[in-house]
Structure 1
């Protein structure tokens, strides 16, 4: 393997795998339909491969061979990209050095692990495809059972819940785990056909031949388990009739052997082997062509801006000449930066579910019969996770975004799974809180590993816009998911508990998998202006003319700009000891703590005022604080030479203080604008803080510095919610856990209004202390 950047190596595996997946479906789906129909035929409908082909063409035409092609056509490119990307990832992990090729056993191990992991994505797709493939043409006037892949998925979920999509998951794990033969055979044949000394020059013929052998070896090693998998996934749902294959792999195998003999395990093998030759030849040829691309890239496994390095990939001339001219250094720099932005956008959608608790908190309260104080404390679990964010941030600073994102995906999925099982078994609230703390830690990891790279990737004139757009998705995802919960899950089930449990399962699998995949595409690519942070210190200051005096043509003293002042790099210990850090910490604690307290207790406030429309209020809060983030980011970018980001935080906290004061007199009608204004103030402070940390204390230790600042909102939210719960309970009647009227909340709003005033004064002092720093940064960026 050449000395290429490992990040580009993995990304190329994803791109090449996507191309190979499309080629695989186009070349082989017709044969796959014949194979599946032969495997699942238990009535003697077909007398052989040729008979099956003729009947399909005669009764359904050529389109019949491509039934169920749309799910794999859409998904196989993505599936293969993940599979080949995982192969590249695990290969880099096993490889001792970039120059050392993997051994055949190591490649086989990578194939097994990547295939088993891929089963989580593949099982629903292959199940839907198989059901559509065995759906034969119906007599005139008789509707088909499934009108298409979406209808098939809908029926499976309606009949079996979300688990219906994962019928046949275990045989899929065993089937996909047989990738050891697939990749092992390909690599062995490829090396055999490549002359010694020409390992980097793979001819198209060698690639095609090795692909054909790989496909044949794969199906010979796992065909019986594929038969079992398709039998389990395609068995029809007939009310009142017991299924033959509903007790697992061994029971299915025994039933097939008893009824049809050992030959049934090899039904359809002939069309399968015929299909494997052109399909896998095309797939591997496309993979090798795209894997040979040339690009310049950066070290994605380091979070430091000094990790910039350009390395040109050595490519086999016989294949790479087709595509490498497209990927110039400038194009790759642009591609990596914006691809990172898009991947971060998706990851933050999954990580911003902390505000979602208000949409299902009442359902949790009713199911577990909790008091209001217990529900409030449960809601703070997300923010309490900020206290444990420092180790996550240290890992981000040390290892970069990818390992942190993969760990975050596990915490996110595991947290919602634990919370779901706690609801089912009615576990103590402490155990439920652990599940939500895990979700919160996952959210912290996603936030740091998505925002951090983009803060480094874009310059001072664009940081605000980019971070504003990203934190918009971080805050706006709850509004989207709340609507899905309200209008999809609650309407599907008459029982609110069933809707809540299925929603938790969907969050666990869907969000966790999305974050794990997005992690592959997040790079750190510092712009030119950030390189000053890692250069050797130069004591000679640069002389930059004052722009205003130059325009007037006057001879005035010049402005001295020291890059080390404009781009400071304070360590974590230096930062937390500074007075500026204390001011920012307190301002952020008040601003975000006040806003998050409203979101946590919004359902109770709404009910106390006689307003049952909690979902609309939550959506208004989420949308208002999400929309203001890119607006505030763009405004603070454009006016950064007039008013620094601490100045904008000062304005936001003053606005929040007035809103909290107005909340003391809230009514059922004025609750809507108050929620919107609180969201605006909250979103503004939330957007400004991470960029301010970067600009005042630098990007090298941004993860730990930002995580420490984020402890503030966790403390604020916890204390404010405890205070609100005590005030709420003191105004409730002794024989009820409910409280009605504004008196239940008025004292809370008065206290928070005063505290927001102190936060405003704190940000005024920070603004005054950092004015010179921001002036120097602006001048340095204009050089």
Structure 2
């Protein structure tokens, strides 16, 4: 069984022509398992985060109070509200993200950072700045899938009624249909610009992921899965520290009423609205459950990705 980091995730493949097809196939399947794992571990944290981000300050005293109120009023199902869109969406999102990330790394390495090959057939490794830039491109690419998924998920997550008959949307399909019927494709993609801004911060995630991976490889004797666990979890936390204010703004936009009742017609209107309502602390509302979620969800997602990559035939 292989123990090294899978080719294409950290370093460019040594033989692109012979490895490209199986690598793409394995990355797609492994990325789907990564998305499933991320949802199972992280969705309850995400529900609490979104509710804190979008509710009035007096509604919840903090993340623990939000969790207890949700469990008391809606049961365990309450913390998994809106899970169906990301369950389906994150399977595709992680596949697209990890697949496009590897593709952009190869393109940048072959054409920008280290064009040409050495005589022995090997190629220099992509520098950390290249990993960060590839992360930005991958973030923008996956935004066109993530935007609608996160939009529908956010609207379902802020439905507080325990009685389904009192909810505006009965489920993700109903929410999607009503949104499309009333506002067309633009309504479905409401918040796309905010999603693109948020995922620009992927440069911090994948740049620091490379740094942590190299550090653990050079200074420890940890196995590849353990390295992926720690590098994935730590880099995800750095990403969220850098990007969280933009996520708050994104959630405000995605849960904003559509049509003429919109409070935030532009991204900057939402950014100003957060500050006007809660000051600078408003940009960090709900950060605790997000930060607690970042490590286990992303660390386990990468462990799942690596495990499937090793299990699949090359």
2:176 to 136, 139, 153: 153
Give the match for residue 149 of structure 2. Answer: 125
Please tell me whether residue 244 in structure 1 is matched to residue 244 in structure 2: no
Task: Tell me how far apart the structure 2 counterparts of residues 185 and 95 of structure 1 sit (CA, whole Å).
Answer: 18
Distance verdict in 2 for CA 1:205–1:252, change over 3 Å:
same
Change (3 A) 1:63 1:265: same
Per-residue CA distance 1:482-527 (angstroms, 9 max, x = gap): xxxxxxxxxxxxxxxxxxxxxxxxxxxxxxxxxxxxxxxxxxxxxx
CA contact (8 A) 1:21 1:76 kept: yes
Give the match for residue 93 of structure 1. Answer: 107
Alignment of 1:165-176 (within 5 A): 165-176=188-199
Aligned to 1:269: 287
Structure-2 residue corresponding to 1:289:
307
- Structure (1 or 2) with the larger CA radius of gyration: 1
1:528-577 C-alpha deviation (Å, 9 max, x unpaired): xxxxxxxxxxxxxxxxxxxxxxxxxxxxxxxxxxxxxxxxxxxxxxxxxx
Match of 2:210 among 182, 187, 208: 187
User: In the TM superposition, what is the alpha-carbon distance from 1:245 to its structure 2 partner?
Assistant: 0.9
Pairs within 5 Å for 1:397-408: none
SS in 2 for 1:45: coil
Q: What residue ranges of structure 2 are gaps of 5+ in the alignment?
A: 1-12, 111-116
Correspondence 1:223 to 2:244: yes
Report which structure shows greater RCO (CA 8 Å, sep ≥6).
Answer: 2
Q: Aligned partners of 1:105 and 1:172: how far apart in 2?
A: 22
Between the aligned partners of 1:57 and 1:226, the Cα distance in structure 2 is 25
Map residues 545-564 of structure 1 onto 2, 5 A cutoff.
none
**2:232 pairs with 193, 211, 232, which one?**
211
Distance in 2 between residues matched to 1:224 and 1:131, nearest whole Å: 19
* Native 8 Å contact 2:257 2:263 kept in 1: no
Structure 1 SS opposite 2:207: helix
Distance 2:72 2:278 in 1: 28
Q: How does 1:443-522 map to 2 (within 5 A)?
A: none
Query: 2:256: which partner in 1?
Result: 235
2:132 aligned partner: 108
- Is the CA contact (8 Å cut-off) linking 1:6 and 1:92 kept in structure 2? no
Whole-angstrom distance in 1 between the partners of 2:78 and 2:176:
20
Deviations 1:330-360 (A, max 9, x none): xx7xxxxxxxxxxxxxxxxxxxxxxxxxxxx
Q: How much has 1:16 moved relative to structure 2?
A: 2.2
Once residues 223 and 132 of structure 2 are traced to their aligned partners in structure 1, the CA distance between those partners, rounded to angstroms, is 20
1:25 and 1:72 in contact (8 A); partners too? yes
Q: Which runs of 5 or more residues in structure 1 are unaligned?
A: 292-319, 333-783
Paired with 2:294 and 2:30, the residues of 1 have a C-alpha distance of 19
Aligned residue among 133, 156, 159 for 1:135: 159
Return the alpha-carbon distance in structure 2 between the equivalents of residues 15 and 101 of structure 1: 25
Determine if contact 2:164/2:170 at 8 Å carries over to the other structure. no
Distance 1:141 1:83 in 2: 34
CA–CA separation in structure 1 for the residues paired with 2:168 and 2:177: 12
Which shifted more, 93-102 or 178-187? 93-102
What SS does the aligned partner of 1:161 have? helix
What is the rounded CA distance, in whole Å, between the counterparts of 1:62 and 1:221 in structure 2? 31
Query: Within 1, Cα distance between the matches of 2:226 and 2:192?
Result: 36
Tell me what 2:44 maps to. 30
Report how far residue 197 of structure 1 moved. Answer: 11
Partner of 1:629: none
SS at match of 2:193: helix
Report the secondary structure of 1:212's partner residue.
helix
TM-score, normalization: structure 1? 0.36
2:271 matches 1:256: no
